[in-house]
Amino acid sequence: MVASGIPATGNPSLEFDASLVRKLIQLGPRYTSYPTADSFSDAFSYRDYLQTVVGLRTRGGMWPLSLYVHIPFCESVCHYCSCNKVVTRDRSKAATYLSYLKHEIEMQGNLFAGMNQIEKLHIGGGTPTYLNDAQMGELMAHLRRHFRFASDFDGEYAIEVDPRTVTVERIHALRKQGFNRISIGVQDFDPDVQQAVNRIQSEQDTLNIIRAAREACFRSVSIDLIYGLPKQNVITMAQTLNKVINASPDRIAVYNYVHRPNMFKPQRRIDEDDLPSLDARLNMFSLCIRRLTDAGYVYIGMDHFAKPSDDLAIAQRQGRLHRNFQGYSSHAEHNLVAFGVSGISAVAATYSENAKTLDEYYERIEQNELPIVTGVKLSMDDLLRRIIIQMLMCNFELSIDSIELAYPITFKTYFAAELDKLHELEDNGLVTVDDEWISVTPKGRLLIRNVCMVFDRYLNTACEAKTGGASAKTETRPLRYTKKI
């Protein structure tokens, strides 16, 4: 029996309607960027990026920066994984990668000299803690040589951690190296589920790492879970949720597993007969919402929950929540500079993506060039649609007047086709639309992607292409910046 029309007790502005979700659920972009990565083109080059940074300097671009560093290595492969990774036990490969990474950091540091104040850093992967303690210390020291970091109080410095790769002592070392936020991959505590996805992870060891992060005074501890994995059911999910809630992390992300073995080779090792049915997945999702909100967590959006005292929840209440390649953020729209294989930078009105393979990444840097292979310059239409999607994803509402004040358009005319589609969603109870506001309903918040997709010109053009219109690419792969998509 699938739960339907269940209000989230701890959050009356959220309602899970299983029949509506089943009717309207569809694959779509997570909108950590707009346009999405599959709209990038190799027509955008390293030189375009250089011109963008020069233009930023000319305009006096003294706003703080965000940095992302991608460490692609893992010791073993998790069968559900869809991120850009290199599975190897040859530690010399990490040393080689670090030498090239340091060169890229130096080149970017020189480009941003004089406007290199950092308020946010995120190190992801792969498994960032594949680097040993000395290598991580070396990386952090090199970043600090080329960029000016805000104080520990003012800055947000995060790292993703696989509990299987660290000790309690390593957690304390990471804190001393400057990290003040930590994201810990759990996925599921059930041993049968862990066996099915090749991620054997001791419950006690994981809880010890969470406790160590508290003792080391990390400002925020985040836990990642996945529902829809093989061997999972409502009972195992409830048991995992109980253990996670008892550990009391500041943030909890509950990702939906998407099985696409034709695109991601590790997923071919999963027995499809072990995957839960759609009804079982919906029941697990409903359970997650109910248990987390009953435990006092606030629904931030998509698949993220946070304690009311967490920076994300505070930013949401104050209307300054932001979304970027790492997901939701309490920091404003800083320019993002990314390092490492497959890293995506967002500088001024551009996106630029690094080479996706180690060989091409190394080759570009050996030529003393940044390893940028694709990107896009945003048009005025892109910028307009990006801010609309951003507001909907973060605030669940959009002031039409605010858009007309910021852009030289008449909303009803410019978005006439989109408003027609919104009225269809309105008939399904996802949104309300009037002359001044577009508001996402409590039922619609769990289907926010459907609402945002209405404004995605690239996606809609691709749909038209199937019926004889112009062609365009859509996002058919997850963005690499979060490990568990």
Instruction: Judge contact between 56 and 116, C-beta under 8 A.
Output: no
The 3-class SS string of 422-460 reads: HHHHHHCCCEEECCCEEEECCCHHHHHHHHHHCCCHHHH
Q: Is 394 annotated as a binding residue?
A: no
User: Would the annotation count 375 as a binding residue?
Assistant: no
Is residue 344 part of an annotated ligand binding site? Answer: yes
Instruction: Tell whether residue 328 is among the known ligand binding residues.
Output: no
224 labelled ligand-binding: yes
Q: Let me know: does 410 contact 404? Beta carbons within 8 Å.
A: yes
Determine if residue 210 is labeled as part of a ligand binding site.
no
Question: Is position 74 annotated in a ligand binding site?
Answer: yes
Tell me: is residue 327 an annotated ligand-binding position. no
- In Å, how far are 85, 273, 385 from 452, measured between CA atoms? 29, 33, 9
Say whether 435 counts as a known binding-site residue: no
Compute φ and ψ for 142, nearest 5 degrees.
Answer: -65, -40
Residue 59 assigned ligand-binding role? no
Annotated binding site for [4Fe-4S] cluster: 74, 78, 81
Annotated binding site for S-adenosyl-L-methionine: 68, 125-127, 160, 187, 199, 224, 344
Annotated binding site: 68, 74, 78, 81, 125-127, 160, 187, 199, 224, 344
